[in-house]
Structure formats: C-alpha cells, structure tokens
Structure 1
C-alpha cells in the first residue's frame, strides 16, 4: 500500500503539513540494517544502566526514582535483577525531551541493561509544527515505519519495537522496548 494512504495519520498525525514531504522523508529514511538499537538520540536499548541512567536523568527535572526487584524471564528458573525507574512530577511535568515537556517517564532495566522506555510528551497539539520540528529526527532514529494508522506508528526489528501514539489533547506517547525481554517478564520478587 502506498505511503500516501497514511499521510493523515502517519507519524502521529504530523502529516497535516503535506503528504509529499512526509513521503519523501519516509522514503529517504534509513533501513533497519543501517540502524543500531532503538532509542532516543543517545540512550539506546541494551545500554548499560550507568551510562543510560546518566543520559536519561539529564532529560528529567529530578533524578529517576527507582525500585529494585527480581523477575523471571520466560520458563527460565533463574531470578534476574529488575529495576523500574520513573520520573518525578515537578510543576506538572517530569522533564523535557526535544524541547517538549514530558508528562510521564518510565525506564525498565533488566540485568543492568535498558530494556524499555515509556514517555509521554505534552505538546501544543499543533502536529504540523511538531512534524516540522521533530518529524525528520524521529524518522532518522527509527527508520521506515512498519505500520501506520490513525492512532500512531510502529517500527519493528527482530528484537526491538518502537511505538509512537497520538493520545489526544496534544499528548504524544512513545514506547521503546526490547520485545523479547519485555514479553518474557512474568513476575517480580
């Protein structure tokens, strides 16, 4: 199906600015083979806790609040170290990403590696301006989308997945995760 069929919704409904430009941006996007792991500019899935933690804390108003635990993965009987970190609300937001306010932030580390990020941006709701500012950057980070519909966009690789959603009222959700690890998590101890 042609990319233009998704122009109204693709990339978080940013395409209001023009189907031709969006189509060109998507066609010139990097292929999966040229991309590393999914992530936000510098912190990427699989990064070690210390490095990723510093980069993620730099986005936040206050350092991440983390809880430690243990988890099982799939049918493996071994307990793995699990750390779930979230942002602390200060004045209605937890931090800033790409010049937009973050209203929600959560990171999950398993065995000291970043396995999942969930973010929510509070924007003006002007998707045309958002695309002008961030659309090309997002396409360059994640490559050619695998799915696009009226609610958002999904990128998938063998082990990783990124989902960009329109949550309404100018709220934009990002979920970036290692599919295999996050699906295998089944209990905390």
Structure 2
C-alpha cells in the first residue's frame, strides 16, 4: 500500500490532521527491527507480572481485580497459570492513559507474563487534537502500520499484534496481544 493511501484511510481517522504531516510521521516511524515488543510507554508484552502489574495499576483509579486460574495452551497437556485482570468503572471511567479517559481495561497474564492488554479510551472525538497529542507517540510505540482501514489500524510482528479501532463517538479501542499465546488459549481449568 502506498504511503499516500494512508492519508485516505487514516491512523485513528486522523487524516484531518494533515496528510503531509501524517506521511512525514509515518516515514519517520521505527521499523519492526527496532521495536522489541509491543506495549505502552512503560509496560511491554512479555513483562513479568509484578513489574507490569505495578505499571498498569498506575493507570487506574481503583485497584485491579484479578481472577487467577489455569488454562491449556493449544494441544499441550499442561495446565498453565492464568490471571485475568480488569477494572470496575466509576462514573464510566477506570483511569487515564496519555491524559485521555479510560472506560475499559483488561490485562491477561499467562505464566506470570503479560500476554494481552485491552483498553478503551473515551475521548472528545476531536481526531486532529488527538493526533497532535498522541499520533506520533503511537507510531513510535508500534512503528509503521501493516494494515489501515477507515476504522482500524493493525500492527503485526512475528509474535505480537496491536490493533487500534475507532468505535465511534470518540471511543477508541487499543488491543495489544501476543498472537501465539492468545490464539492457543482454549480453555480454563
């Protein structure tokens, strides 16, 4: 896909921020080889539970509620430790990320490593302002997108995937996951 096509489909529907600037930011975004793992500013996929949990808790207004369990991965006959963490909204919010309101939070740890993170931002819906504040940061975290449509941007590495979706009315969903582990997760024991 040519870089000019990104101007028509848009990162977070942010093309109103200007195709020239978006194109320049996309060209200067890091390549996959320079990005170790996908994640947020201080927490990355594969981080240990204790460190990742502390960084994620800093985003939230109230303590995470975590449910421990066991799971199988694919066809392996071993039970792996699973922990799913979420946050209960208060007045429709669970915390903040990048000065934007978080309305949903879910983290999944398998064998004490962060394997999936799903967040929903509740923004003003002013995509030009959002791009000004966060567009370059998102490109620096995930690099050049692999797929872009009018409602979704997808970044893929060999084992990781990040998806940014416009849900409408200023709601933006960000999901970062280890593809291999999350696809192999098939049941809880």
- Per the shorter chain, which TM-score range? over 0.9
How far did residue 8 of structure 1 move?
A: 3.5
For the 8 Å contact 1:37–1:45, the answer to whether it is kept is yes
Does the 8 A contact of 1:7 with 1:13 survive in 2?
no
**Mean Cα displacement is larger for which, 12-21 or 171-180?**
12-21
In the TM superposition, what is the alpha-carbon distance from 1:10 to its structure 2 partner?
2.0
- CA drift of 1:2 comes to 1.4
* Partner Cα distance (1:54, 1:92) in 2: 23
Tell me if 1:166 matches 2:160.
Answer: no
* Corresponding residue for residue 185 of structure 1: 185
2:17 corresponds in structure 1 to 17
Q: Distance in 1 between matches of 2:76 and 2:140?
A: 36
Gaps of 5+ in 2: none
Give the TM-score of the pair, scaled to structure 1: 0.98
Give the distance between the partners of 1:9 and 1:179, measured in 2 at CA: 25
Question: Which residue of 2 is the match for residue 126 of structure 1?
Answer: 126
Match of 1:144 in 2: 144
Residue correspondence of structure 1 range 1-189 to structure 2 within 5 A: 1-189=1-189
Please tell me whether the aligned partners of residues 8 and 16 of structure 1 are also in contact (alpha carbons under 8 angstroms). no
Provide the aligned C-alpha RMSD in A.
Answer: 0.7
Contact 1:61 1:88 in 2 (8 A): no
Paired residue secondary structure (2:120): strand
Deviations 1:89-133 (A, max 9, x none): 122100000000000000000000000000000000000000000
- Report if the CA contact (8 A) 2:6-2:23 is conserved: no
- What is the alpha-carbon distance in structure 1 between the residues aligned to residue 114 and residue 10 of structure 2? 27
Q: After the TM superposition, which segments of 4 or more aligned residues of structure 1 sit over 3 Å from their partners? A: none
In 2, are the aligned partners of 1:95 and 1:102 still within 8 Å (CA)? Answer: yes
CA contact (8 A) 2:45 2:114 kept: yes
The answer (yes or no) to whether the contact 1:13–1:127 under 8 Å persists in 2 is yes
Gaps of 5+ in 1: none
CA distance in 1 between counterparts of 2:38 and 2:67 reads 24
- Specify the SS of the correspondent of 1:182: helix
CA contact (8 A) 2:72 2:80 kept: yes
- How many corresponding residue pairs? 189
